[in-house]
Structure 1
Amino acid sequence: MRFRLRVLPAILILLGLNAKTLRSQETLPHLEKRGEATQLIVDGQPFIMLSGELHNSSSSSLAYMEPSWPKLAAMSLNTVVTPISWELVEPTEGHYDFALIDGLLAQARQHHQRVVFLWLASWKNGESSYPPVWVKREAHRFPRAMRNGNPINTLSTLSPATLDADARAFTAVMQHLKEVDSKDHTVIMMQVENEVGILGDTRDHSAAANQAFNSTVPAELITYLKTHKDTLDPELRDLWVANGQKTSGTWAQVFGNTSRADEIFMAWNYARYVQTVAAKGKAAYPLPMYVNAWLAGENSTPGDYPSGGPQPRVIDIWKAAGSAIDIYAPDLYQPNFTWWSNRYHRPDNPLFIPETVGGAAGAANVFYAIGEHGALGFSPFAIDDFDEANKDLANSYSVLTPLLPIILEQQPKANVHGFLLDQTHPSVEFPINGYIAHVSLDQIFGYHSEKGFGLIAATGPDEFIGAGKGFRVSFTSRSSNPRVGIASIDEGKFESGKWIPGRRLNGDENDQGNYWRFDPRQIRTEKATVYQFE
């Protein structure tokens, strides 16, 4: 009996610790499907990253970063996206230095910022400038990809030694983050490598790569193609079908002897490598992880952009190679923001924009990405320039910040929509909370809208919040009757979650009750109520 009495408190303590550990794991940042939306959950609550990515080298110095943090916070950012590099983490093999990571975390916490770390390791922008010098020197141990019989500044994906070294270092980073950040959750996501792929050629032509290319396509890839045939990206499915929908053969036999087969081959090999690095890191500390893509330009061919990176047409190849990567994300500098957003936002892939333009374009695009695609975050590059162009972005972020709770609440119900309007696409319509919203460019007081942007969210049975500029809205019923009128429009703002109305807008400001209008001269937040009548 005495033994039992002595042991019981110890058991209870252990149970308490285990429960605490389980609660900590449950509240780790993670992705969660909620209704119609996939949301990033941070500290148990959905979270949208209004973020920006720093210049490549800014965060390599704590002293350099020190004056930047208050400026970033003043731009209404809630998250900073910044590199950490293999060369600084493991300057000599097997010896890790986490002082820079710890310093960045301390600075971010001081200024109430979340962080997304970019693991710049084997590849960055298709080349290998970020591995430690001990990796760069030992080319026989860590071989390079080959072009025209010569090694290039790109590590080969087919080297087990390189994969093992990269994965060990990344795992050490994730283990350290678990030790120093599992309570604070300052780091909410990790990018693994950066814009991977072969530049200047369609594929690696090393001896190992040639042998693999002329070997049989792995059975697990063929199985994935067969199992997911109906949901494959149309470009990939059409290519496979056009080549006979073969279920065995070499890469050229299954996908055709073209640059497309080379790209698919490289996508498989980069994906196997990156998925392995991510999986080992997640085993230490399971944060959400993503890879980013340098997008193909119009009429470009593999090698003009990094061949093998997660372009939309090869995302399924990446998925067949593993499941450790949660998000395939576009670095979206190309024109036609809406087209690319639609290509990356799939039922099995939430949209995240880790790099893009800022300025006036970014200030508009963020409304569309978050409103229409439920983007997990939006992150213009070179956010630490603090130039005049970023004032537009900062203004959009300041308008969106108090709206985030409403947006996050309505996303699972599909009651949020965003839009980008111009002379080519001057109008859009969508269902929202039992109505059809008709949105178009507007002209008011002599100011003609060449462009307009914004988002609308439902906040009640007949009530809507809108934000943006340069557009007008009317509503119709989803059935032929009854008709819909505008009951009231108020401009205003949120303070501590409470709506503070300003002017009641009527007359010219709502076209005599016919339209909910947003002035093209500046971003406004407005609330509208509607009514139905026969």
Structure 2
Amino acid sequence: MRRRCAAWLAATLSLLLSMAAHAATREMPRYVSENGRHALFVDGAPYSIMAAQLHNSSAWPQVLPQALEQAEALHANTVEAPVYWEQFEPEPGRYDYTNVDALIAQARARGLRLALLWFGTWKNGQMHYVPDWIKRDRATYPRMLDANGAPVDVLSPHAQANRDADSHAFAALMRHLRKVDEGTYTVILVQVQNEPGAIGTVRDHGEAGERAFREQVPEAVARALSKPAGTWTEVFGPGAAEAFSAYANAVYIEQVAAAGKAEYPLPLYVNTWLRYKGKIHPGLDYPSGGATWNVFDLWRAVTPSIDFIGTDIYTSDYNEYTKVVDQYARPDNPAWVSETGFEAATAPYHFYVLEKGGLGFSVFGIDGNEDTPENRAATEAYAAAFGLLTPMQRMLASAAFEGRLQAAVEKPGTPQQDLRFGPWQARVSFGAPMWGDAPAILPGTSDHAGRVLVVQLEPEVFLVTGFQGRVEFQRDAADGRYGQLLKVEQGRYVDGKWQTVRWLNGDETDYGLNFRARDPYVLKVTVGTY
């Protein structure tokens, strides 16, 4: 018995030492931006986020297991889950780590990564998640006032007491993450606030807000925006109130983010309730002062501690969705869908984000939903999409970062698109049959859910996959040589390495490479000339 116990202790000690050694070799997650391209590095290599975001009230220990099970069913590699300031700091300076520790422990046990969402001063343009002791003490922690002098449900960004309280709490959170997760890095990034801005007023009309609004635009801001000197009204005209609010909120969040990064420098981002779908009235249609496209440059000028800005996109309209992704995919910011609606019709846009070299894609509200046909369709669509891509996410992330990945997402009325790779062109058709000649006029797919991605692995080797699309490789270089398919391998990625299942030829390649709606192939295609 004593000998068995000694052997068990030795084995356990060896395992712990092995885990510690492995953890010691891991690199801290970091955000990298080079030559207008962006990547999130996790464990020392680019990482493509395929995230399931829990409902707002699902990050409590008792309900978390069921929520994480549903995230796993979607084949997500990352879970986005909130940390509630009201729970985290029930009394000034006393921090309750129960929920955070449960999130980390349960996600780690399932092999999931975490993006934590700090529900602090702002949640959807309001202050619902601040602690009771702040909500009850308006004298110490003032709220914004509207144009009539009435308080609204948002803390004033001009009150230093508000900034300090949030900064201290966020710093405590990041300090605790360093203590319990450094070296393992279950938590790979943190969202600072949630859809900041104000619903109920365009700007703060309190005494401090009025005084600041009459002042000159800070010289550094005017210079960064190539604006002349002057007051907010003189510089920004009709948009002065919204620009002023954006500046105040961004400076506030920068203080919070800087305090957190000083404790533990994980990548930090802010998400955005968007100005889109014809919504143009700040404070009414969307929270005034968030990082909307019209004040984006101002935001970036004053938030060096925020690594990037995310988009919360709730539409399935092709033109609207892709417009938003394009607005935020910039040399100074990555494409990153920090939230999108949990519906089958949004799943194809993940490919569009990858096409833009994006960091990833997160679908909101995946757990605890009513069993409806719509929810079943959404679950099936995302399980299929994430299930297809998650095993090769490292390869996709590297290819996106290096500019070797292109994708075609079906646009209604445009059933054919071309992807160019030097002398090679991948022609993508939507609505072609799985076998046989395509009609002269392609009909597109019935649900407009077709999408294909192509990764250039070598100059004449490509990885191709997708849903409801046909891909035909053509060569049109003016050198007198003709293109041909040399080999088409069907396979999969296992532990980051390609494994061939079979070669395709004959009927499976004579009419292009065809990808079905369910359980599509992953193909490695070698082309050549003669």
In the superposition, the TM-score normalised over structure 1's length comes to 0.86
Give the Cα–Cα distance (whole angstroms) in 1 for the partners of residues 94 and 25 of structure 2: 28
Aligned position for 1:524: 521
Tell me if the contact between 2:434 and 2:515 (Cα under 8 Å) persists in the aligned partners. Answer: no
Deviations 1:374-398 (A, max 9, x none): 2212110012246412121011111
Q: What do the CA deviations read for 1:220-270 (whole angstroms, capped 9, x no partner)?
A: 1012123xxxxxxxxxxxxxxxxxx5x2111111111x2x22111111010
SS in 2 for 1:67: helix
Equivalent residue, structure 1, for 2:366: 383
| Residue 300 (structure 2) aligned to one of 313, 319, 324 | 319
Relative distance call for 1:180 and 1:522 in structure 2 (3 A) is closer
- Shift in Å, 1:478: 6.3
Cα distance in 2, alignment partners of residues 37 and 178 from structure 1: 28
Matches within 5 A, 1:425-504: 425-432=414-421, 434-444=423-433, 449-450=445-446, 451=448, 452-477=450-475, 479-481=477-479, 482-496=481-495, 497-502=497-502, 504=504
Matching residue of 1:204: 204
Q: Tell me the CA shift for residue 48 of structure 1.
A: 1.3
- Partners of 2:103 and 2:501 lie apart in 1 by 40
Aligned twin of 2:400: 411
**Equivalent position SS for 1:164:** helix
Alignment match of 1:364 (pick from 336, 348, 355): 348
Task: Say whether 1:277 aligns with 2:256.
Answer: yes
Query: How far off is 1:505 after superposition?
Result: 4.3
> Post-superposition shift, 1:489?
3.2
1:401: how far off?
A: 1.6
Matched positions, count: 487
1:6-45, aligned counterparts within 5 Å?
Answer: 27-33=27-33, 37-45=37-45
- Give 1:433 shift: 5.6
Aligned position for 1:103: 102
* Residue 255 of structure 1: aligned partner: 236
Structure 1 residues 478 and 143 mapped into 2: Cα distance closer, same or farther (>3 Å)?
A: farther
Contact 1:516 1:528 in 2 (8 A): no
Q: Which amino acid aligns with 2:336?
A: F
* Contact 1:123–1:130 (CA under 8 A) maintained in structure 2: yes
* Alignment match, 1:354: 338
* Residue 302 (1) aligns with residue 296 (2): no
Change over 3 Å in CA distance of 1:36–1:155 after alignment to 2: closer
Assess, with a 3 A threshold, how the Cα gap between structure 1 residues 154 and 409 changes in structure 2: closer, same or farther.
closer
> Which letter maps to 1:353?
V
What secondary structure, in the 3-state scheme, does the structure 2 residue paired with 1:276 have?
helix
The 1:425–1:275 alpha-carbon spacing in structure 2 relative to 1, beyond 3 Å, is farther
- Distance verdict in 2 for CA 1:252–1:179, change over 3 Å: same
1:264 paired residue among 243, 248, 265 = 243
- Report the AA paired with residue 520 of structure 2: I
Alignment check: 8 A CA contact 1:351 1:374 kept: yes
Q: Is the 8 A contact 2:36 2:331 kept in 1?
A: no
Counterpart CA distance in 1 for 2:202 and 2:335 is 27
CA contact (8 A) 1:356 1:362 kept: yes
CA distance in 2, matches of 1:474, 1:178: 50
Work out whether residues 36 and 332 of structure 2, in 8 Å CA contact, stay in contact via their aligned partners in 1: no
Q: Secondary structure at the match of 1:63?
A: coil
Residues 412-456 of structure 1: per-residue CA shift (max 9 Å, x gap) = 431111221133333332332652333232320599624211211
What residue in structure 2 maps to residue 7 of structure 1? none
Partner Cα distance (1:207, 1:108) in 2: 46
With over 3 angstroms needed to count, the CA separation of the structure-2 counterparts of 1:329 and 1:181, relative to structure 1, is same
Shift in Å, 1:480:
2.7
**TM-score normalised by structure 2 residue count:** 0.86
1:299 Cα deviation (Å)? Answer: 2.8
State the 1:32 CA deviation.
1.9
Q: Structure 1 pair 24/213, CA: closer, same or farther in 2 (3 Å)?
A: farther
- Contact 2:428 / 2:452 at 8 angstroms: preserved in 1? no
After superposition, the Cα gap between the structure-2 partners of 1:380 and 1:214, relative to the gap in structure 1 and judged at 3 Å, is same
Give the SS at the match of 1:425. Answer: coil
In structure 2, what is the Cα distance between the partners aligned to 1:458 and 1:36? 20
Inter-partner Cα distance in structure 2 for 1:191 and 1:412: 22
Give the letter aligned to residue 347 of structure 2. Answer: A
2-side partners of 1:123 and 1:35: how far apart? 33
Distance (whole Å) between structure 2 residues aligned to residue 101 and residue 204 of structure 1: 33
Cα offset, 1:194, TM superposition: 0.8
Letter aligned with residue 73 of structure 1:
E
Counterparts of 2:91 and 2:34, CA distance in 1: 45
Other-structure match for 2:14: none
The answer to whether the 8 A contact 1:24-1:182 is kept is no
Give how far 1:465 is off: 1.2
> Could you tell me which of 305, 330, 334 is aligned with 2:311?
330
Letter in 2 for 1:466: V
Distance 2:485 2:25 in 1: 48
Which residue in 2 is equivalent to 1:395? 384
Find runs of 4+ consecutive structure 1 residues off by over 6 angstroms: 23-26
Pick closer, same or farther for the CA change 1:215–1:351 going to 2, 3 Å: same
- Report sequence identity in percent: 34
Distance in 1 of aligned mates of 2:205 and 2:150: 9
Contact conserved, 2:384 with 2:518, CA < 8 A, in 1? no
Instruction: Give secondary structure in 1 for the equivalent of 2:46.
Output: strand
- How far apart are the structure 2 equivalents of 1:263 and 1:432? 43
Name the residue aligned to 2:3: none
Equivalent position SS for 1:523? coil
Partner SS state of residue 66, structure 1: helix
Note the C-alpha offset of 1:46: 1.8
Give, in angstroms, the shift of residue 408 of structure 1.
2.8
- Provide the rounded CA distance (Å) in 1 between the counterparts of 2:350 and 2:478: 34
Contact 1:490 1:505 in 2 (8 A): no
Shift of 1:91: 0.3
Equivalent position amino acid for 1:302 in 2:
P
Residue 292 (1) aligns with residue 271 (2): yes
